[in-house]
Amino acid sequence: MRAIVTKPYRRPYDNPIAVPAGAAVVPDFEKYSEVPGWVWCSADDARAGWVPRAYLTGSACNWRVTRDYNAIELTVEPGDRLTIELEESSFYWATASDGSQGWVPRDNVSLLTDDQT
pLDDT tens by residue, the chain, 117 residues: 999 999 999 999 999 999 999 999 999 989 988 999 999 999 999 999 999 999 999 988 899 999 999 999 999 999 999 999 999 999 999 999 999 999 999 999 999 987 776
Number of domains present in the structure of the chain:
2
Rg over alpha carbons for the chain, rounded to the nearest Å, is 15
Prediction pTM value: 0.91
CA-based nearest residue to 51, from 76, 5, 107, 64:
64
Question: Which residue range(s) make up the domain with 65?
Answer: 18-70
Q: Is the dihedral of CA 18, 19, 25, 30 positive or negative?
A: positive
Q: Kindly give the residue spans of alpha helices, DSSP state H, lying in 36-77.
A: none
Both 66 and 22 in one domain: the answer is: yes
Both 23 and 65 in one domain: the answer is: yes
CATH of the domain at 97: 2.30.30.40
Report d(CA 79, CA 46) in Å as an integer: 35
